[in-house]
Structure 1
């Protein structure tokens, strides 16, 4: 049986034992080897972003665009000067406004923050863009489908598991 002479001795012994335990735990924690992390290698695909931008610019917004139907076919998209001689909105701003509103389904406010044009102007850009698409491309792309078009669409639908469906999600005529 142990014989303790004072509480101080007991406190000292307990403190020493606790210190030893803590040191042992610290030693074990610092000498554990972490397993190596797996190395993931990403495959780099050169998408030629700069070339994509250049093609987009040349096709739609350069001095002589490849696809200039909207810019040249709709007078609204020409950049003009106002009564004070200051340049108005560029064709790029107007077309981008309409395209962003169509693509994102957003109101005019978000494009105002980015492209700096008023809500009414954004709506006008959208209207002019849509009217221009209908006028310029309606006969070719917005026409009623021919019998051959319908058969081709039915074949595609059947191949994809939607027999009898032509452009409607509930398969109703």
Structure 2
């Protein structure tokens, strides 16, 4: 395969991956999310279950982000359903637009969840339909926080990408799709869609 073809295929895949995330986020925004009681700190009748946020963040970074990470690019793509550079692009854009995804200190001066963990949780819930309870076991994030994170992520993705990815295809998009289909032997592909 020529280098230009490979780069073109990777660009197309990146475009489709981002379009997929935007479309899934739009679908999720339209669905009601179970309302959670809003607590403002500790509640007298409830016990605090400590979550080792620093350790789970370090594990996440060690597994996927570090240069010598446990999982390679193909593993990342399999686990998250998108390429690593698209994840980093989404992370960067989401953190710029929505302050919810920036790491803050809580009321007792402990670091909150990292942006990497928040975006990871949202993508895992989206990619696999994971329940908030299963996320709690893996990433140490309470169910209500998982649902809040997922809702914030979906709303932010729609806000960021609706103009580019959630629109009718224009002439340039159609030409690109037709050329790609013809290169793979699917002549008249667009005309067969109703």
Normalising by structure 2, report the TM-score.
0.48
**Are positions 1:88 and 2:134 aligned together?**
no
Q: 1:106 to 1:66 in 2, by over 3 A?
A: closer
Higher relative contact order (CA 8 A, sep 6+): 2
Greater helix proportion = 2
**Are positions 1:71 and 2:87 aligned together?**
no
SS of the equivalent of 2:160 reads helix
Aligned with 1:137 (options 153, 156, 161): 161
Instruction: Name the structure 2 match of 1:155.
Output: 179
Q: 1:118 to 1:50 in 2, by over 3 A?
A: closer
Cα RMSD (Å) of the superposition? 3.2
**Separation in structure 1 between the aligned mates of residue 67 and residue 155 of structure 2, nearest angstrom:** 31
Instruction: Name the structure 2 match of 1:35.
Output: none
Q: How many residues are treated as equivalent by the alignment?
A: 115
Matches within 5 A, 1:13-162: 51=67, 53=69, 60=88, 68-162=92-186
Larger Rg: 1
How big is the shift at 1:52? Answer: 6.7
Further displaced range: 105-114 or 78-87: 78-87
**Separation in structure 2 between the aligned mates of residue 66 and residue 97 of structure 1, nearest angstrom:** 13
Decide whether the 8 Å contact of 2:91 with 2:115 is kept in 1: no
Normalising by structure 1, report the TM-score.
0.53
